[in-house]
A and B are shown apart, each in its own frame.
Chain A
Amino acid sequence: MAEARSRRTGSHFGVHTVLIAASLVMVAPFVWEAITSLKSLTDATHVPPSPLPGSQWSNYRKVFQLLPFGHQFLNTLLMALGRTLGQVVLCPMAAYAFARLRFPGRGVLFGLFLSVLMVPPQLFIIPQYQIMSDLGWLNSLQALILPGMFSAFGVFLLRQSFLALPKELEEAARLDGAGPLRIYWSVMLPLVRPGLVALGVLALLWSWNDLFWPLVVNTDPDKMTLSAGLASLQGQFQTDYPVLMAGSLLASLPVIVVFAFLQRQFVQGIAHTGVKG
């Protein structure tokens, strides 16, 4: 018995060694990013590099001079919130209908929704751009938000949640005289809250980090998102790495903070996409 336990802790020691080494590889780039962001350009390009951060806090101020960082932060925030709100309102409605209501053509319509999920996004982009251009909405907030509000993925994810709910609840409510809207809003929707939160968190994450669409549709620096704004610095100011590191850190920080608080929902959302049942 004692031998078995010592063997187990022994093997765990090995496991921890491997995991700690791997974790260091995962984290080191972020640590180096933070350290560099506080160095002067001279210190940053000094060989051998110093592992100490320095105290060049002005790099963070310079980010705001290089970019309309405040504007871009706000654009990103509004885009992420707008898309997320759209998805958590619209997706469960359709998901509920596909999972729980009967109507002619349900199968065909769901097939169409699924096909959107399978087509690579680049196939939508030229016509989407045309639509925005025709409406005169290039360089606008609604251009950033609009197409991203409609998510076939969200419908698919939540349909699974609705399918898992027992039928009896619905029937009981129906016998009490509740109509479909009432059943949806008061009975079913509250029960899929974990799925809804997972969708919201993923929508927030993907919107915040999205690059291609914002890059294409909003080219005016004041109307850009953070990811497009940062990308626009590349090449132009490629030598001032400490400032770039400060900007990168600031831009990704909000999501990392949200992640720290809502870890379980992130992980659940991801795991949901990958595992049946």
Chain B
Amino acid sequence: MTITSTPGGTRTEQPPATGGRPGRARRPRRDRVVEALWGYAFIAPIGLGLAVFYLWPVLQTAYFSFTAWGAFGGHTWTGLDNYHRMLHDHEFGQAMVNTLAYTALGLVSIPLAIVFAALLNRPGLRGVGVYRTLFFLPVVTMPVAIAMVWRWLYNGNYGLINYLLSLVGIDGPNWIADPRVALYALVAVGVWSSIGYNLVIFLAGMQAIPKEYYEAAQIDGAGPVRQFFSVTIPLLSPTAFFVSVISVIGSLQLFDLVYVMAGSGDAARANPAFPRLETVVQLFYDRAFVTNDRGYAAAIVMVLLLVIIALTAFQFRMQKRWVHYG
């Protein structure tokens, strides 16, 4: 049943073509008032919660970013001071560079997830459920626990990774404490733990591609690899676009992994690689809740918000170049 949309209005519902009763479309005014009241009643509980704990706080944080906080609470308006300070704050600059690098490198997860999803999507393949479960395991495991395990695997002296490398004659670095490799070590864990999540989304996207396309390609003599590039990839591009948007947003907010792997406070700062590991959110945590410099912390997350908006807008602009909507 298709309903032709009436120009410019949703007020009148057209009766369905098959046996609708005429005159039912417009219900009495009293009914509509009752419906509206129920609408507000249904929304009220969560609406109040979101207003108090989410919407109002955003405005407050924006306001706080223009203030300086005293050691014992209380804040004074200081205009753009926090933002000026950020321009000259070397630690903030480095944290931002790290975060952007982590975000860019983390995108490797997408092609990897697509390849594994394509392998799992082969008709007649057995054990798909088992593979999917194994890939998904890191997604459900507590990030703090994951970070602990990888810290241990990365240990320069007793870690399994360096032991395995030594078997093939490579003298591995002290991964998390070596400024040259620390960021890459972190990226590897991020990719490892996000592949399963992306894979599930891509697999769902692939299963939505009509079989006819593959049959047609097969008739034209395309093998599996050719089909992957000519059918799967273009038709999957909207999904890939979505995944890249949420991956970028997620990576820009990285905290848990670094907080555990790099640590925080003075102990962490003793690590020579710490400047290469610290992320923007970690710096925010430190300023807001360790050094109680809340005005500055608020300014830091305001800038993070701007970066997220900018990168998301950039991706939306770029999508014309590579996303095919069927």
Is the beta-carbon distance between B53 and A131 smaller than 8 angstroms?
yes
Is the beta-carbon distance between A124 and B144 smaller than 8 angstroms?
no
Q: Does A90 contact B (CB under 8 A)?
A: yes
Alpha-carbon gap, A231 to B265, bound state (A): 13
Q: Does A73 contact B (CB under 8 A)?
A: no
Instruction: Specify which chain B residues have a CB less than 8 angstroms from the CB of A119 in the assembled complex.
Output: 54, 58, 305
Q: Does B153 contact A (CB under 8 A)?
A: yes
| Contact of B135 (CB < 8 Å), options: A26, A104, A180, A275 | A26
Alpha-carbon gap, A27 to B238, bound state (A): 30
Q: What number of A residues sit within 8 Å (CB to CB) of B?
A: 98
Is the beta-carbon distance between A271 and B148 smaller than 8 angstroms?
no
Q: Does A184 contact B (CB under 8 A)?
A: yes
CB proximity of A267 to chain B, nearest CB, Å:
5
Q: Does B134 contact A (CB under 8 A)?
A: yes
Q: Does A2 contact B (CB under 8 A)?
A: no
| Contact of B153 (CB < 8 Å), options: A26, A32, A244, A275 | A32
Identify which of residues 55-113 in chain A touch chain B, using a CB-to-CB cut-off of 8 Å: 90-91, 93-94, 96-98, 101-104, 106, 109, 112-113
Instruction: Specify which chain A residues have a CB less than 8 angstroms from the CB of B46 in the assembled complex.
Output: 90-91, 93-94, 150-151, 155
Is the beta-carbon distance between B122 and A93 smaller than 8 angstroms?
no
Q: Does B256 contact A (CB under 8 A)?
A: yes
Is the beta-carbon distance between B205 and A120 smaller than 8 angstroms?
no
Q: State whether A27 and B134 are in contact (beta carbons under 8 Å apart), knowing that A90-B49, A270-B197, A274-B204 are contacts in the complex.
A: yes
Is the beta-carbon distance between B39 and A103 smaller than 8 angstroms?
yes
Label chain A's interface by main secondary structure.
helix
Q: Does B50 contact A (CB under 8 A)?
A: yes
Is the beta-carbon distance between B204 and A126 smaller than 8 angstroms?
no
Alpha-carbon gap, A120 to B206, bound state (A): 30
Is the beta-carbon distance between A23 and B294 smaller than 8 angstroms?
no
Identify which of residues 99-144 in chain B touch chain A, using a CB-to-CB cut-off of 8 Å: 116, 119-120, 122, 124-127, 129, 131-144
Alpha-carbon gap, A106 to B208, bound state (A): 32
Is the beta-carbon distance between A29 and B305 smaller than 8 angstroms?
no
Instruction: Specify which chain B residues have a CB less than 8 angstroms from the CB of A93 in the assembled complex.
Output: 42-43, 45-46
Is the beta-carbon distance between A90 and B134 smaller than 8 angstroms?
no
Instruction: Specify which chain B residues have a CB less than 8 angstroms from the CB of A45 in the assembled complex.
Output: 157-158
Instruction: Specify which chain A residues have a CB less than 8 angstroms from the CB of B40 in the assembled complex.
Output: 97, 103
Instruction: Specify which chain B residues have a CB less than 8 angstroms from the CB of A190 in the assembled complex.
Output: none
Q: Does B55 contact A (CB under 8 A)?
A: yes
Alpha-carbon gap, A141 to B68, bound state (A): 31
Instruction: Specify which chain B residues have a CB less than 8 angstroms from the CB of A16 in the assembled complex.
Output: 127
Q: Does B82 contact A (CB under 8 A)?
A: no
Is the beta-carbon distance between B298 and A184 smaller than 8 angstroms?
no
Is the beta-carbon distance between B255 and A113 smaller than 8 angstroms?
no
Q: Does B301 contact A (CB under 8 A)?
A: yes
Instruction: Specify which chain A residues have a CB less than 8 angstroms from the CB of B192 in the assembled complex.
Output: 25-26
Identify which of residues 12-41 in chain A touch chain B, using a CB-to-CB cut-off of 8 Å: 12, 15-16, 18-19, 22-23, 25-27, 29-30, 32-33, 36
Q: What is the number of contacts between chain A and chain B, taking CB atoms within 8 Å?
A: 277
Which residue on chain B has the smallest CB distance to residue A184? B42
Is the beta-carbon distance between A152 and B50 smaller than 8 angstroms?
yes
Q: State whether A235 and B43 are in contact (beta carbons under 8 Å apart), knowing that A97-B38, A252-B142 are contacts in the complex.
A: no
CB proximity of A101 to chain B, nearest CB, Å:
4
Stretch among B86-94, B179-187, B280-288 lining the A interface: B280-288
| Contact of A149 (CB < 8 Å), options: B49, B127, B259, B305 | B49
Is the beta-carbon distance between A102 and B119 smaller than 8 angstroms?
no
Alpha-carbon gap, A130 to B73, bound state (A): 10
CB proximity of B9 to chain A, nearest CB, Å:
12
Instruction: Specify which chain B residues have a CB less than 8 angstroms from the CB of A44 in the assembled complex.
Output: 158
Alpha-carbon gap, A185 to B198, bound state (A): 35
CB proximity of A222 to chain B, nearest CB, Å:
18
Instruction: Specify which chain A residues have a CB less than 8 angstroms from the CB of B132 in the assembled complex.
Output: 267
Stretch among B28-36, B227-235, B316-324 lining the A interface: B28-36
Q: Does A48 contact B (CB under 8 A)?
A: yes
Identify which of B132, B139, B203 gathers the most chain A CB atoms within 10 Å of its CB. Answer: B139
Is the beta-carbon distance between B55 and A29 smaller than 8 angstroms?
no
Alpha-carbon gap, A2 to B201, bound state (A): 35
Query: In the complex, given contacts A231-B260, A274-B242, what are 17 additional A-B residue pairs having Cβ atoms less than 8 angstroms apart?
Result: A32-B152, A47-B163, A90-B46, A91-B46, A96-B42, A97-B40, A101-B35, A101-B42, A112-B55, A120-B308, A131-B52, A211-B256, A251-B145, A256-B137, A263-B136, A266-B136, A273-B201
What would 29 A/B residue contacts be, using CB atoms closer than 8 Å? A11-B224, A12-B126, A19-B119, A26-B196, A49-B158, A94-B42, A96-B42, A101-B39, A102-B35, A103-B40, A113-B47, A116-B55, A123-B302, A125-B288, A126-B288, A127-B60, A147-B54, A180-B38, A211-B256, A215-B285, A226-B144, A230-B148, A230-B260, A234-B260, A234-B263, A245-B149, A247-B148, A263-B136, A273-B201
